């Protein structure tokens, strides 16, 4: 029998329907793989009992012909999604032991569709980071290694546990969240597909908030089709989130094979700065050629405010984070360190509960929102954000989709860039503009560099046009024939 863990979601769905194996067998295969790959540290908590129970229930529904869209499919859930009765930490000490009495809308939808939760996936603390090195529960290792080398690499972040687990075939898919690139960059580093939908497609209800005007959930999978299948289940209007869009959900899977013939693909010159990594640039050129070969036309476009996106993001996101994280005060959630006065209790709890990067963001955020600096930083950043969104609006009058690299480099070493926050922030240079504009973006694994490490290409489209994004992604995937780990397909 083939290794069940290397199947795609689409293949497993069809084979489960034909009763070629059971959901319980599929789940057991994944639980065994997780056990063997503990050193990756991809999961903060595993939930084998819940998984077996849900797999059995899935088998019953498959038997009675009442299967949901993800019936029996084992998935990992990023530990930023509240899961009823199961510890949810955001990878922070301050939330250690917190068991939410409710389920996030997105994880509930996945559950209602019959999927099986394998556990809660590791991430950067409060999703702040690009390496998964800031987790209180330890770093995550990428399952990839450079050719001929044994040193460990980062899986990217913040959805590093999600990317590592899907890439290593511990889960068939995983949820991620993306505030400035946290789905797309780790997907690129681990050679998988990551989709950040339009802001407002997925409900944020029950997801631990980082920067509310940017946070979006999305799927991380090994193929474009699997991402389309998962996203369809994850999104849809939710009255519990005021920014959730009251739009019907397209059948993303149905458009995958429509191709790109006649589409106009924009190539933004600002994403090719002097000194861009030569292999990243070459892969981008290759991607352009693949789309042309498939019948698209490519046009040079300009997104003039691109250079301001990173500084803008690193004002807006910390500002919102400083406000969102005010709720961790030792009174309502998680950890508390007693003090002689209420203020001292707050201070001690927050000093002990938050890690260095989270504290840095709270300090930056509080600073840019303070009375004396609000206009100079926060208000200015809001204005620049509007200009970045306008750049995209204008570009999409000339093109249907935009192609760029996902990240400026391949994965780096597990202990690199730790002492230099700015070097870490530079990872997000190609992903944050789309986050600030609220437009959808996906990363598709497109090739390997000379060290044998994955590189991704990013596809951006206008708001609510995930269908075009998926069509372009499918063409890139078909052309790239990317060598997934374990030969999974
Ligand atoms: N790396 C970015 C940051 O640290 C993005 C994180 C995210 O998208 N959650 O803020």
Distance 417 CA to ligand 1 centre (A): 15
Six-digit token string for 10: 């689409």
pLDDT band with cut points at 50, 70 and 90 for residue 367: very high
Does the C-beta of 329 come closer than 6 Å to ligand 1?
Answer: no
Quick check: 88 pLDDT over 90?
yes
Q: Looking at residue 1, what is its pLDDT?
A: 52
Q: Does domain 4-259+482-488 have CATH number 3.90.1300.10?
A: yes
Name the residue of 157, 177, 184, 420 to mutate for ligand 1: max ligand atoms within 8 A of Cβ.
Answer: 157
Residue-range domain boundaries for the chain: 4-259+482-488
Nearest ligand 1 atom, CA 177: 9
Spatial neighbors of 405 by CB under 8 A, at least 6 apart, are 271, 276, 280, 281, 283, 284, 430, 455, 456, 457, 458
Quick check: 2 pLDDT over 80?
no
pLDDT band with cut points at 50, 70 and 90 for residue 421: confident
Looking at residues 87-112, what average pLDDT do you find?
Answer: 97
**142 an active-site residue?**
no
- Mean pLDDT across the chain: 97
Q: What would the pLDDT profile of 145-160 be if each residue is shown by its tens digit?
A: 999 999 999 999 999 9
Quick check: 417 pLDDT over 80?
no
Within 247-359, strands assigned E span 264-268, 297-301
Q: Looking at residue 487, what is its pLDDT?
A: 64
CA angle 172, 211, 410 (to 5 degrees): 50
Cβ atoms < 10 Å from Cβ of 269: 12
Rounded Cα–Cα distance for residues 127 and 433 (Å):
18
Does the C-beta of 160 come closer than 6 Å to ligand 1?
Answer: no
Does the C-beta of 127 come closer than 6 Å to ligand 1?
Answer: yes
pTM of the shown model = 0.98
User: What percentage of the chain exceeds 70 in pLDDT?
Assistant: 99
Distance 56 CA to ligand 1 centre (A): 37
Q: What would the pLDDT profile of 209-241 be if each residue is shown by its tens digit?
A: 999 999 999 999 999 999 999 999 999 999 999
Composition of the chain by helix, strand, coil, percent to 5:
45, 15, 45
Looking at residues 29-48, what average pLDDT do you find?
Answer: 98
DSSP conformational letter for 352: H
Distance 465 CA to ligand 1 centre (A): 23
Quick check: 404 pLDDT over 70?
yes
Distance 432 CA to ligand 1 centre (A): 8
Q: What would the pLDDT profile of 150-200 be if each residue is shown by its tens digit?
A: 999 999 999 999 999 999 999 999 999 999 999 999 999 999 999 999 999
For strand 441-448 and strand 401-405, is the pairing parallel, antiparallel, or unpaired?
A: unpaired
Spatial neighbors of 275 by CB under 8 A, at least 6 apart, are none
**78 an active-site residue?**
yes
Q: Looking at residue 157, what is its pLDDT?
A: 96
The single residue of 182, 203, 244, 308 carrying the catalytic annotation is 182
Rounded Cα–Cα distance for residues 325 and 214 (Å):
15
Q: Looking at residue 121, what is its pLDDT?
A: 98
DSSP assignment of 247-267 equals: -PPP-GGGGGGG--TT-EEEE
User: How far is the first Cα of the chain from the last one, in angstroms, to the nearest whole number?
Assistant: 15
Q: Looking at residue 418, what is its pLDDT?
A: 74
């Amino acid at each position: 029998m083939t290794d069940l863990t290397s199947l795609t979601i689409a293949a497993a769905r069809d084979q489960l329907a034909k009763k070629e194996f059971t959901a319980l067998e599929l789940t057991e295969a994944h639980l065994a793989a997780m056990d063997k790959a503990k050193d990756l540290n991809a999961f903060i908590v595993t939930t084998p009992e819940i998984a077996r129970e849900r797999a059995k229930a899935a088998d019953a529904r498959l038997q009675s012909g009442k299967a949901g869209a993800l019936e029996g499919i084992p998935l990992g859930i990023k530990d930023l999604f509240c899961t009823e009765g199961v510890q949810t930490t955001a990878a922070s000490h301050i939330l250690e032991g917190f068991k939410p009495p409710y389920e996030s809308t997105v994880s509930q939808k996945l559950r209602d569709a019959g999927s099986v939760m394998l556990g809660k996936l590791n991430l950067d603390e409060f999703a702040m980071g690009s390496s998964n090195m800031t987790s209180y529960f330890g770093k995550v290792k990428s399952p990839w290694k450079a050719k001929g080398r044994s040193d460990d690499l980062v899986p990217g972040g913040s959805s590093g546990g999600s990317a590592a687990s899907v890439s290593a075939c511990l889960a068939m898919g995983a949820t991620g969240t993306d505030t400035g690139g946290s789905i797309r960059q780790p997907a690129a580093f681990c050679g998988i597909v990551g989709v950040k939908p339009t802001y407002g497609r997925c409900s944020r209800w029950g997801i631990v908030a980082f920067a509310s005007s940017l946070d979006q959930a999305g799927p991380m999978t090994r193929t474009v089709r699997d991402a389309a299948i998962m996203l369809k289940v994850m999104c849809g209007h939710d009255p519990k989130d005021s920014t959730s869009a009251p739009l019907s959900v397209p059948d993303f899977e149905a458009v995958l094979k429509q191709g790109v013939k006649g589409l106009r693909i924009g190539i933004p010159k600002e994403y090719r700065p002097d000194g861009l990594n030569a292999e990243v640039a070459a892969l981008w050129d290759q991607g352009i050629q693949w789309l042309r070969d498939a019948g698209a036309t490519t046009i040079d476009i300009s997104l003039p405010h691109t250079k301001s996106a990173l500084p803008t993001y690193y004002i807006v996101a910390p500002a919102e984070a400083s406000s969102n994280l005010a709720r961790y005060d030792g009174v309502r959630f998680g950890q508390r360190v007693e003090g002689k006065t209420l203020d001292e209790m707050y201070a001690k709890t927050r000093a002990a509960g938050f890690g260095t990067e989270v504290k840095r963001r709270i300090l930056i955020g509080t600073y840019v929102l303070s009375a004396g600096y609000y206009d100079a930083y926060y208000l200015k950043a809001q204005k620049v954000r509007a200009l970045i969104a306008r750049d995209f609006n204008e570009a999409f009058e000339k093109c249907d989709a935009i192609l760029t690299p996902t990240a400026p480099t391949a994965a780096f070493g597990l202990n690199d860039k730790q002492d230099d926050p700015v070097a870490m922030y530079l990872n997000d240079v190609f992903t944050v503009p789309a986050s600030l504009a609220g437009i959808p973006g996906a990363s598709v694994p497109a090739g390997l560099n000379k060290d044998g490490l994955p590189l991704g290409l990013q596809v951006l489209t206008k708001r609510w046009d995930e269908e075009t994004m998926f069509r372009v992604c499918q063409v890139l995937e078909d052309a790239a024939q990317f060598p997934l780990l374990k030969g999974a397909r």
